[in-house]
Amino acid sequence: MSTEKKSILDQLLFRINAVRNARENKYILLNAPNEAISQITAILPGMKSPTIIPLAEEGWSSMQSVVREDVFWEVIDQLKGLGAQGVLVLNIEKMIV
């Protein structure tokens, strides 16, 4: 196979994998009590780690992460048990890992 054809094939496979990875995952946003952040972080490793942003309401933070589709409902149950509220779930169009 020529170098040019291999380059085109690699690029195509990269793009296919990005779409496939997106289908296997969901993007979630949630509000969580600060005292539960370490426990929630253990449940939601995300791609590297969840994004955590303090809310205007003291004692609460917003968290963003990625969850695999095959464990989604189990994770949601655990998050609710830790006090997570306002959970938003979004489809991911493409996911570059």
Asked whether residue 96 is assigned to any structural domain, the reply reads no
**What confidence score (pLDDT) does residue 45 get?**
77
**What confidence score (pLDDT) does residue 46 get?**
77
Its pTM stands at 0.84
**What confidence score (pLDDT) does residue 27 get?**
95
Q: Write the CATH number for 47.
A: 3.30.70.120
Domain count, the chain: 1
10: part of which helix (H) or strand (E)? helix 3-23
Residue 86 near residue 11 (C-beta atoms within 8 A): no
**What confidence score (pLDDT) does residue 91 get?**
95
- Domain assignment of residue 68, given as a range: 3-91
Please identify every stretch of the chain with a pLDDT value under 70, giving residue numbers as ranges.
none
**What confidence score (pLDDT) does residue 48 get?**
86
Asked whether residue 97 is assigned to any structural domain, the reply reads no
46 exposure class (CB count in 10 Å sphere: 0-12, 13-18, 19+)? middle
**What confidence score (pLDDT) does residue 33 get?**
98
If you average pLDDT over every residue of the chain, what do you get?
94
Nearest Cα residue to 65 out of 19, 78, 56? 78
Asked whether residue 71 is assigned to any structural domain, the reply reads yes
